[in-house]
Amino acid sequence: MDRKTTKNVSLRKVLSLIPHNKRRKAYGAIASSMILALLDFIGIAVLVPVLLLVLDQETTLSYPFVNRLYTNVGFQSFEQFTIAVCLSVVIILIMKSLLMLAISNSITKYLLSLYKYYSKHMFRTYMYRGLIFIREHNTAQLVNNVNGVCLRFTEGVLGQIFSIITGCLLLTMIIAVMLCYDPWLILLAMAIFLPLSAIYIIFFRHKMNENGRMENKLFIQQNKTLHETMRGYAEIEINNAWQYVNKLFGDRLKQFSECRRKASLIRTATGRIAEFSLIVGIVAMIIIGLSANIPMDTLKMSLGIFAVAAYKIVPSVNRIVNCWMEYKRNSFAAEQIEEAINDDTDKNTNDTSAILPFKQAITFDRITFRYAEDARTVIENFSLTIRKGETIGIKGTSGAGKSTLLNLLCGFFKPTNGEITIDGIRLTPDNRRQWQNNLAYVSQDVFITDTTIAENIAFGKMPDEIDRHRLAKAINAASLSEFVTTLPYGVDTVTGEGGCKLSGGQRQRIGIARALYRQAAVLLFDEATSSLDSNTEADIMQAIKQLSAEHGELTIIIISHREHTLDFCDRIIELSRHA
């Protein structure tokens, strides 16, 4: 078995993952859990007077405080006194319940604030790791880590710790009172419930840990299958692959359901065994009491007190054991939280509107690049100077490194050897964001969000931040005006998921309009017309030519495997594939 699936995460490790600026509130949450236990205990305590009133009137009035209360208030009968006590208990229970709701809500808010912290931190960490990291990892797994794993850690680990604290403290208070009243009762309760807890903790701890890991793994696989199925619908339909996809989905769904069933069975069994143990305890108390010739009145009182205590002991033990199981089941999440928090990826790429000056030239100086130390060389000893205002075409066979060259220029990849300079300033992680503010990128598959055309063109801006005048100019320059006028809501028409309501040419024009709205100094076209028909490609290339002619200060770099699309370029650079 994989070593990682059996690894346990210590409680100290879990608590160390709470950020320093949130630890004070963590102490507050612990204190709130203690208050919850106290309120729960009060809920039991107020039931005892009612029990005493019902079971033994004379003993109840023999207590000095109760007798003074009964006499001084002026009750006309014991029945009136009993009704008043019962109503008081109801009022106390209502107030207790409302207070418990408020405290539970504050704990939930704290846990959700931690969830938001971990999720945002993990998301930022993944983004900072760059394009290579994203490409090397499965999207479904990364999405699950950011959302599901972070939620599992806050609710399934930290939340369970707070619940365990509440349950343990409540049990401690009940045990303390029972010890004062009758030590024999607490010995009986411990004889019943401690073995139950020990059995679950000893025998099911590792099983629940493995169960949680397996469920998370299966959940990722299901999401992956769904994502791939939706994305590849046409290919699945054409290749008559529905039977294969259905079987794959069904098998994983069956495994996931089985995993959930086992966890639910263990949790349910805890409650049933606890209830069974309670019945056994009451039967044992009666048999032992009668065998020891304990007076029936005394035995009835002991049974009543034990029943009231068990009213909370059973669910408390049940909750503690189940919370512990859920804690073990979700504790694997701490490993991924820790990995994200302790990530040492360079995070100097801060959001900034500053722009790295570009007035002269971009220089590739003896650039060599490979994805890993033992991987093949994609680009080797490549040098090129691109002057501002030039239109450069780059061609080459598949795998020659054309797109890699653009990724290097964008700062997504770091050269293995050599350097890229802008007006003599070396491109580094520190100034990468400032350089990227000069760039606009149009790929073969333009990134379109399921929002309006306006939001897609002014990508990165909130709707109320969009400059409508600049938007109109970009639409006109990208030859989109005629298309936009045919839409029911104009630029405020929603494009659909991935731009499914748009043609290929319209998506490309939106990409060009986005570049123009951005007012970038450098336009990058990465096989932007390779998936279009010849007429649409000609229209798009004509729009790019017009941009080049009308804006002489624009630097345009075009990658294409079709040489005729590069005819108007000032220079054409050919890359060859390395072995």
pLDDT digits (tens, 9 = 90+) for 454-486: 988 888 888 888 899 989 988 888 888 888 889
Q: What percent of the chain has pLDDT over 70?
A: 77
**pLDDT score of 5:** 44
Residue 348 lies in a domain: no
Q: Which residues on neighbouring strands pair with residue 391, listed in sequence order? A: 556
Quick check: 182 pLDDT over 70?
no
Sorting pLDDT into bands at 50, 70 and 90, what band is 423?
A: very high
Residue 525 has pLDDT above 70, yes or no: yes
Is 90 exceeded by the pLDDT of residue 174?
A: no
400 lies in the same domain as 261? no
Is pLDDT of 2 > 50? no
In this structure, the answer to whether residues 400 and 460 fall within a common structural domain is: yes
| Residue pLDDT, tens place only, 116-145 | 999 888 888 888 888 888 888 888 888 888
Burial of 418 (0-12, 13-18, 19+ CB in 10 A): middle
pLDDT of 520 strictly over 80:
yes
On whether both 568 and 442 belong to a single domain, the answer is yes
| 530 assigned to some structural domain | yes
User: Do 264 and 398 lie in a common domain?
Assistant: no
Q: Verify that 327 and 369 share a domain, yes or no.
A: no
pLDDT on residue 1 = 34
Residues 107-145 as b or e (16 or more Cβ within 10 Å = b): beebbeebbebbbebbbebbeebbeeeeeeeeebbbbbb
Q: Is pLDDT larger for residue 90 or for residue 425?
A: 425
Tell me the pLDDT of the chain averaged across its residues: 79
Range of the domain at 530: 361-575
Distances (CA, A) of 155 to 6, 527, 550: 21, 46, 58
pLDDT (average), residues 275-283: 66
400 and 327 both lie in a single domain: no
Residue 4: what pLDDT?
A: 43
For residues 296 and 427, state if they share a domain.
no
Q: Are residues 331 and 403 in the same domain?
A: no
**353 belongs to a structural domain:** no
**Residue of 24 and 81 predicted with greater confidence:** 24
Whole-number Å distance between alpha carbons of 504 and 536: 9
> Which pLDDT belongs to residue 450?
86
Q: What is the mean pLDDT of residues 502-520?
A: 84
Which of 313, 341, 369 finishes a domain?
341
Adjacent-strand bridge partners of 361:
387
pLDDT at 151 over 50: yes
Residue 354 lies in a domain: no
Of residues 95 and 82, more confidently modeled: 95
pLDDT mean over 232-249: 72
Give yes or no for residue 269 having a pLDDT over 90: no
Are 319 and 163 in contact, with CB atoms under 8 Å apart?
Answer: yes
Backbone angles phi, psi at 379, to 5 degrees: -130, 135
Q: Which residue has the higher pLDDT, 7 or 337?
A: 337
Same domain? For 297 and 410 the reply is no
Number of domains into which the chain is organized: 2
Average pLDDT on 236-251 reads 75
- State the pLDDT at residue 185: 61
Residues 325 and 367 in one domain: no
Angle ∠(137,450,544) on CA atoms, nearest 5? 90
Sheet strands side by side (includes 361-369) = 379-387, 361-369, 417-422, 425-426
Q: Map tokens 């802008």 to a residue.
A: 422
pLDDT at residue 15 tops 80:
yes
DSSP string, 333-345: HHHHHHHHHT---
Predicted pLDDT at 39: 87
Cβ(272)–Cβ(280) under 8 Å?
no
Q: What is the pLDDT of residue 217?
A: 80
CATH number at residue 132: 1.20.1560.10
Q: Which residue bears the tokens 């020990």?
A: 198
- Given a cut of 90, whether residue 363 has pLDDT beyond it is yes
Q: Which residue has the higher pLDDT, 75 or 99?
A: 99
Distance CA 439, CA 420 (A): 15
The CA R_g of the chain, rounded to the nearest whole Å, is: 35
Structural domain ending residue among the three candidates 298, 313, 341: 341
Mean pLDDT of 231-247: 71
Q: What is the pLDDT of residues 364-399, one digit of tens each?
A: 999 999 887 777 888 888 899 999 989 888 888 877
Report for 20-29, 310-319, 358-367: range of highest mean pLDDT = 358-367
Residue 3: predicted pLDDT: 39
Report yes or no on 355 lying in a domain: no
137-141, 149-153, 179-183, 184-188: least confident range: 184-188
pLDDT of residue 345 exceeding 70, the answer is: no
Is 50 exceeded by the pLDDT of residue 362?
A: yes
Mean pLDDT across 215-244: 73
Residue ranges with strand state E in 205-266: none
CATH classification of the domain holding 404: 3.40.50.300
Residue 346 lies in a domain: no
Residues 321 and 378 in one domain: no
Give domain status of residue 30, yes or no. Answer: yes
pLDDT (0 to 100) of residue 365: 93
Looking at 289, 312, 341, the residue that finishes a domain is 341
Q: Is residue 350 part of a domain?
A: no
Q: Are residues 250 and 335 in the same domain?
A: yes
Residues 6+ apart with CB under 8 A from 545: 568
- Whole-number Å distance between alpha carbons of 571 and 390: 8
